[in-house]
Structure 1
Amino acid sequence: MAEQNNSHIVSLDILHFNDVYNVEGRTAEPVGGAARFYNALKEHGAGETAVVLFSGDALSPSMLSTVTQGRHMPTVLNALLVDCAVLGNHDLDFGLDLMCECIENSRFPWLNTNVFDMDTNKPLSGAPDHYIMEHSGLTIGLIGLLEEEWVTTLSCIDHTALDVHDMCEVGRRWARNLKQPGPNGRAACDLVIALTHMRWPNDRKLASEVPEIDLILGGHDHNYEIEWLGEADKQNFSKKNTRAIIKSGTDFQNFSHIRIKFDKTQRRISELKIEEVVVDSRWEEDEEMKSYVEKLTEKLDKKLDMLLGRIEVPLDARFSSVRSQETNVGNFVCDIILTGLDAHVAIVNSGTLRADRLIPAGDFCLRDLTNLLPMLDSIVLLQATGEQILKALENGVSQYPKLEGRFPLVAGIRFSFDPRLPPGNRIPCSSVTTQDKPLELTKIYRLAVKHYMASGKDGYDVLKECPVLVDDEEGPILSTLIQNYFRAIQVSL
């Protein structure tokens, strides 16, 4: 307590969240929802004693965004009193113009420090490359770093027209510059925070190679997790942890309340405490936010409550499952694609499935389908050799055990892989069978995939070589294909 009484010790509170999609609350705990989330943030000082920071992914995917294309989310984020954000991959799902429109309607900056448009040599979407704010007697420098891995998977933007600068080089340069006095009398920043939207390995790399960054607040991963950095965590427990990477959950279900003690004499963080705040049903809903959400959803409700059919077993659509192993929901979706396109083989990237939950047995409504498949994905039919199919599967398992969206969901084909082997050589050809026969590398097969994959996204470059039998103009929308399946059978699964 003595330290807190010293005049050179300044307290700073930060509220951090990331990856929010569904503004409506859930029935299962933690129920979340934007209305409860608002009250929880306010209770923890949003707009008064605390800075509110967001690490990207809000405009898509969700049931509402399929209708609004994400235009409803700036109003929500403005109400949540966000001070600064970083771009996320799904914020670009509907293209650059829509993203720019949403940036324009936001009362806070969206940062992009390291991805540039080659034509303009400016940050993609015209987002600022940094932001400086004053709070609690401190000058805080903020930068927003994106990883190349997801930039190259963008479906509505030509990633070959983008220049992705090395995140560590950019982070180091900006952190050093911001901690020095700048032009026009700009004061040196007391601390620099990186808002990131990337997977854990890249956040760890950034933390290791750029010690000038004081705190990394990440997104892209949906599990709440804190990774302490430095000797205090690893060797000397008598020291205080003063540096961390924080991922603050997902979907308005949780956020982090970060309490910092900053020593202005030594110009460093002297104490760092992190609290996970779970937004469950004990939080009251804010009436104004609740009313806004109800207005958004009431027009959809009648249509979304339409019964499609019944399922007799729970469908496992959790990210931890569909992005790492065979699941019944993956088989269900791909079997329908296989039949609907009259294909020999169907492969779908697991990032297509967005529900991230166990779908209970019983009535299966349009709402359940839209939660599972919120994006309007068209399915195409390709002519592929066995060798090309094998290469596509190798790409699908190349990032395992990372929970990447390229992990393959399949039908009409079986295979096994060994994650101990190097990427590109994990699948023994002898393990691959299609229609109960060994895969023949030179044989031509009818392969059904998403147009997104056929365009070479998510690392599926080999599919760009395949002749197209049914293109995206003629191919069905995946969610429509499944609705038609239910209509056709009209019986329990």
Structure 2
Amino acid sequence: MLKFVSLKKTLAVSGVALMAALAPAQAENIKLTILGVGDIYNFQGGKERGGFAKVNAVARAERDKHGNFLYLFDGDMFSPSLLSGLDFGANTVALTNLVPFDIAVPGNHEFDFGQDVFKQRIAEAKYPWAAINLTKADGSPIDGVGGVMVKEIAGLKVALIPVAQDTTPEVSSPGDWKFGPTADSAIAAAKQARKDGADLVIGVVQAPHTDDQAILKSHAFDVFVSGDDHDFALAYDGVTAYAETSIDGAILTLIDLDINVEEKDGKRTVKWYPYFRVIDTATVTADPESQKMVDQFSAKLEADLGVAIGTTTGPLDSRRNVVRKEESAMGNLIADAIKQETGADLAIMNGGGIRADKQYDAGATLTRKDILTELPFGNITVLTELTGADVLAALENGVSQVEKGAGRFPQVSAGVKLVYDPAAEAGKRIVSLTLNGEAIDPAKTYKVATNDYMLSGGDGFTALTKGKVLVDAHGGHLLATDVIDYVAAKKTIDEKVEGRITTK
């Protein structure tokens, strides 16, 4: 049976098909700006750069200027700082609530005060906290801690992959919570997000440079921002863009993505190119609302610093000519505090790091301000594992310039007995060195608490650089805060000169 079809209709249908075949691809251009920050501890910032008021000013201005904006936090704000030692990081949440993040990853310092404080702080936040590799001991989710976040931005499906640092249990106090491997977890989640149809995959990561490099080389991400290393770095290898986000917001990087979305023959492709804008916050005017809160916190801190934390039973001496030449009760106090905080076998503190140049009479009241005046440099308590030979070499360095009153002279913790000959050749002055009554064994390993300046070889302590670092400057507490907590817990301080360091 013949079927007649209208020629007019046939030509019309064919024309539509022909027009579709000849039609150009449909393209759309989208702009997306990303600002990542992390490692913001000091609410006031430095003398010229950084601080929450300047960071908030940049974030607020960018959010107001760009309809498509992502504000990302890659870890570490609750600690360490002097104020956080008093309010357990509440000031940092209050300040960031003024200009909330789109997502925040908990850094290792978010757990310095334990699980309960962490949960309290994130409950106070007006923004979501998330980490795909953080769970309870049984593998179940932690209330208030999310996972991958998918946002629709200008028709794009954007996956945010939040990843915490897997070394957190070693350097902080998350209790029995579990942390999966940082780099592997990040890469696996990014690949899955891509399979699930994400147009852009963006990482928010707290990780050391080694993990950053593994993530970058995987090409699983379009963009990722990372904290923890306290430095500033940018990279783009043609596939993945990366920013290391500095410290205290001193230098900020805005990543402007120029995105082209093309539809052709039913297939959708997304291409982009990054433009980096670097902002030196020395040039930024503080956000007025944030600065008002900063000023309030500054006044509170000044008042709180005068609070009494303990009383001495005997005299304490931090005079320059004492702490740089002989055992000092103040030096003993500081060394004992960091030994207890870290669980070390012994502690070494450089006399030059003790700065008040003051005598405290027996029965004197100690305040937080006294401790901060003694320890003004913002050093961090760290822990390393050294051979006895390296411990001996470190202390040889400590007494090598005693005749010059050098700041390297060591103050040591209880249990250490160091006898040296100041007339002997430098490097060969130690006559005997014992710990808890036993000679230091050159082949044995010891856990040694010190400060981050000395750990990096400062004051000639290169021997301290040779060990296995257990808690570095990124994981440790503010040295002054550790001493304040030690004094406050003991209330009565009975440190005295007891023969820890003597001369032949």
The 5 Å alignment of 1:434-453 reads 435-437=430-432, 443=438
In structure 2, the partner of 1:300 is 301
The 5 Å alignment of 1:417-456 reads 435-437=430-432, 443=438
Tell me the TM-score normalized by structure 1: 0.62
SS of the residue aligned with 1:272? strand
In structure 2, the partner of 1:63 is 82
1:3-38: CA deviation from partner (whole Å, max 9, x where unpaired): xxx943321101111110111143x332x2322322
- Of 59, 66, 70, 1:51 maps to 70
Q: How far apart, in 1, do the equivalents of 2:356 and 2:155 lie?
A: 54
SS of the residue aligned with 1:87? coil
Query: 1:48 offset after TM fit, Å?
Result: 4.7
Decide whether the 8 Å contact of 1:44 with 1:257 is kept in 2.
no
In structure 2, the partner of 1:11 is 31
Q: How far apart, in 2, do the equivalents of 1:298 and 1:260 lie?
A: 41
**Structure 2, gaps ≥5 residues long:** 1-25, 263-267, 308-315, 359-368, 395-408, 417-425, 451-467, 472-482, 498-504
1:216-254: CA deviation from partner (whole Å, max 9, x where unpaired): 21011111111x243xxxxxxxxxx45232111111322
Decide whether the 8 Å contact of 1:24 with 1:34 is kept in 2.
yes
Q: Are residues 1:24 and 2:19 paired?
A: no
Decide whether the 8 Å contact of 2:122 with 2:144 is kept in 1.
no
1:298-317: CA deviation from partner (whole Å, max 9, x where unpaired): 122145379x999989xxxx
Q: How far apart, in 2, do the equivalents of 1:298 and 1:150 lie?
A: 33
Query: 1:43 offset after TM fit, Å?
Result: 2.6
- Of 198, 202, 215, 1:193 maps to 202
Decide whether the 8 Å contact of 1:9 with 1:263 is kept in 2.
yes
1:186-231: CA deviation from partner (whole Å, max 9, x where unpaired): xx221111111111011111222x32211221011111111x243x
The 5 Å alignment of 1:61-210 reads 61-119=80-138, 121-124=139-142, 126-154=144-172, 156-158=173-175, 161-181=176-196, 188-208=197-217, 210=218
Q: How far apart, in 2, do the equivalents of 1:39 and 1:219 lie?
A: 20
- Of 247, 257, 260, 2:257 maps to 260
Amino acid at match of 2:241: A
Query: 1:95 offset after TM fit, Å?
Result: 1.0
1:385-407: CA deviation from partner (whole Å, max 9, x where unpaired): xx98639969x9xxxxxxxxxxx
Decide whether the 8 Å contact of 1:334 with 1:346 is kept in 2.
no
Q: Are residues 1:275 and 2:277 paired?
A: yes
Question: Aligned residues: percent identity?
Answer: 19
**Alignment root-mean-square deviation, CA:** 5.1
Decide whether the 8 Å contact of 2:33 with 2:254 is kept in 1.
yes
Q: How far apart, in 1, do the equivalents of 2:88 and 2:29 lie?
A: 45
1:96-117: CA deviation from partner (whole Å, max 9, x where unpaired): 1111122112222111111322
SS of the residue aligned with 1:81? coil
Q: How far apart, in 1, do the equivalents of 2:346 and 2:167 lie?
A: 24
Amino acid at match of 1:17: V
Query: 1:129 offset after TM fit, Å?
Result: 1.6
Amino acid at match of 1:178: A
Amino acid at match of 2:36: H
Decide whether the 8 Å contact of 1:59 with 1:91 is kept in 2.
yes
Query: 1:140 offset after TM fit, Å?
Result: 1.3
Tell me the TM-score normalized by structure 2: 0.61
Amino acid at match of 2:297: L
SS of the residue aligned with 2:211? helix
